[in-house]
Amino acid sequence: MACKKRSGKLQAMALAVLLLLLLGLAGKGCHGDVVQFIFGDSLSDVGNNNYLTKSLARAALPWYGIDFASGMPNGRFCNGRTVADIVGDKMGLPRPVAFLDPSLDENAILKYGVNYASGGGGILNETSSLFIQRFSLYKQIELFQGTQEFMRRKVGKAAADKLFGEAYYVVAMGANDFINNYLLPVYSDSWTYNGDTFVKYMVSTLESQLRLLHAMGARRLTFFGLGPMGCIPLQRILTSTGGCQDSTNALSKSFNAQAGAAVSRLSSSLPNATFRFGEAFDYFQDLIDRPLAHGFNDSRAPCCTLGRVRPTLTCTPLSTLCKDRSQYVFWDEYHPTDRANELIALETLRKLNITVVANAATTSSP
Ligand SMILES: *[C@@H]1O[C@H](CO)[C@@H](O)[C@H](O)[C@H]1NC(C)=O
Ligand SMILES: *[C@@H]1O[C@H](CO)[C@@H](O)[C@H](O)[C@H]1NC(C)=O
Ligand SMILES: *[C@@H]1O[C@H](CO)[C@@H](O)[C@H](O)[C@H]1NC(C)=O
Ligand SMILES: *[C@@H]1O[C@H](CO)[C@@H](O)[C@H](O)[C@H]1NC(C)=O
């Protein structure tokens, strides 16, 4: 009798342990996935602008997306994957869903995270106003705040705090603040500031935005710096020789130096923050200067082009495509090809000392 009672107790204990184990495992498999929240511009947009029907910056027509999954336009301003796609893949993280994608619900957010990136978006609110519709970084943070409130209602505060506290955050912005603001005389910022004061204005705005994300729970964050903006095809045609715009590249470098310093200041001063600055400026410049050494044949012309006509978004169904897309550094007037993005992503990870997951996706498929 006494013995039976004891084994009953043991059984109950074993059951309790088993239940705890099962709950623990379920927690990991279902609601414990580490996801990403991505903030950015056209270099990271995965479809938001296609839902902004008045936006002038949309990758909604062929030949955008030709090397991605079905080959139909998917909102990426590229033939294939973005740098953020590849960096996330290599870290073994799921690809986040575009914020405006109608399929986005609490389950998708728990499983994949959210991408708020929007073509034309800038650190400054006033950037790219000529594009009519785009999400600036402040707007994207506002949308993220909405996502947080939504998730707290749907899954409760504890689960939401865990999701947002464990997630990886990517912020990749700044090129439009130069190309579609400071460098265009139609914007008042271009005559209010000089290069130096404009970079300081951008970096102090960025610092407030990163602090805001930290206050909202972001702990692991990577900010991607700028590439050699003066070498994009759209900038090259402004020089008499077709060479890179050195003054524009100098702005990229100055921004990277100051934004990098701001990110490391925040990382050491904000509680529990691991904020990193990722960039591949010199490597990207080398791809442009010595294309053959990296397996490219052309680092000057866009692969998808209308020839001599150079409006801002030149890749349309009427454009001609280069023969071999993997031989071109640039896909259109602004954006690198899938192959160039892959090399830039790998260099960015190498400089961040991030080990690449062995079985990470290696193709353009989602
Ligand atoms: C920028 O826009 C946001 C709304 O998206 C607004 O809350 C904020 O006050 C604006 N900031 C400035 C400096 O205009
Ligand atoms: C920092 O991390 C510690 C340990 O996980 C935690 O107790 C503390 O609340 C965190 N502080 C902030 C501000 O996140
Ligand atoms: C490389 O580019 C040159 C000049 O544009 C062209 O004549 C040549 O056919 C290209 N080679 C390959 C392998 O694409
Ligand atoms: C990466 O590792 C190298 C050598 O261990 C170190 O010097 C460098 O500071 C590290 N970089 C980052 C971003 O952690």
Q: Nearest CA to 98 among 126, 70, 59?
A: 59
The answer to whether residue 210 scores a pLDDT higher than 60 is: yes
268 Cβ closer than 6 Å to some ligand 2 atom: no
Of 67, 89, 189, 332, the catalytic one is: 332
335 carries an active-site annotation: yes
**How open is the CA angle 184-290-243, to the nearest 5 degrees?**
30
326 Cβ closer than 6 Å to some ligand 3 atom: no
Q: What is the pLDDT of residues 144-166, one digit of tens each?
A: 999 999 999 999 999 999 999 99
What is the C-alpha separation between 122 and 126, in angstroms, rounded?
Answer: 8
Q: In the numeric block, which tokens belong to residue 115? A: 């991408």
Residue 2 is predicted with a pLDDT of: 40
327 Cβ closer than 6 Å to some ligand 3 atom: yes
The answer to whether residue 73 scores a pLDDT higher than 50 is: yes
Distance 271 CA to ligand 2 centre (A): 7
352 Cβ closer than 6 Å to some ligand 4 atom: yes
201 Cβ closer than 6 Å to some ligand 1 atom: no
Contact 237, 248 (CB under 8 A): no
214 carries an active-site annotation: no
What is the C-alpha separation between 64 and 66, in angstroms, rounded?
Answer: 6
Domain covering 33-292 in this structure, CATH number: 3.40.50.1110
Q: What is the pLDDT of residues 232-278, one digit of tens each?
A: 999 998 888 999 999 999 999 999 999 999 999 999 999 999 999 99
Residue 309 is predicted with a pLDDT of: 67
Q: What is the pLDDT of residues 1-60, one digit of tens each?
A: 344 444 555 555 555 544 444 444 444 444 468 999 999 999 999 999 999 988 888 898
Residue 80 is predicted with a pLDDT of: 98
What is the C-alpha separation between 40 and 36, in angstroms, rounded?
Answer: 13
Residue 230 is predicted with a pLDDT of: 97
First-last CA distance in the chain: 62
Contact 140, 117 (CB under 8 A): yes
The answer to whether residue 364 scores a pLDDT higher than 90 is: no
Residue 170 is predicted with a pLDDT of: 98
**Tally of residues, the chain:** 366
Q: What is the pLDDT of residues 89-144, one digit of tens each?
A: 999 999 999 999 999 999 999 999 999 999 999 999 999 988 889 999 999 999 99
Per the listing, tokens 């090809």 go with 337
Of 42, 254, 319, 364, the catalytic one is: 42
Q: Which atom of ligand 3 is nearest to the CA of 323?
A: 14
Residue 25 is predicted with a pLDDT of: 41
Dihedral angle of Cα 254, 258, 263, 268, to the nearest 10 degrees: 140
Q: What's the pLDDT band for 176 if we cut at 50, 70, 90?
A: very high
Residue 238 is predicted with a pLDDT of: 87
Contacts of 301 (CB under 8 A, 6+ apart): 233, 322, 328, 330
What is the C-alpha separation between 274 and 283, in angstroms, rounded?
Answer: 24
Average pLDDT of the chain, as a whole number = 90
For atom 5 of ligand 3, which residue has the closest CA? 298
Of 41, 118, 335, 338, the catalytic one is: 335
Residue 130 is predicted with a pLDDT of: 85
Q: What is the pLDDT of residues 265-323, one digit of tens each?
A: 999 999 999 999 999 999 999 999 999 999 999 999 999 998 776 666 679 999 999 99
42 carries an active-site annotation: yes
292 Cβ closer than 6 Å to some ligand 3 atom: no
For atom 14 of ligand 1, which residue has the closest CA? 125
Residue 57 is predicted with a pLDDT of: 86
Residue 26 is predicted with a pLDDT of: 40
Q: Given ligand 1 and candidates 116, 125, 126, 145, which is best to mutate, with the most ligand atoms within 8 Å of its CB?
A: 125
Q: What is the pLDDT of residues 336-345, one digit of tens each?
A: 999 999 999 9
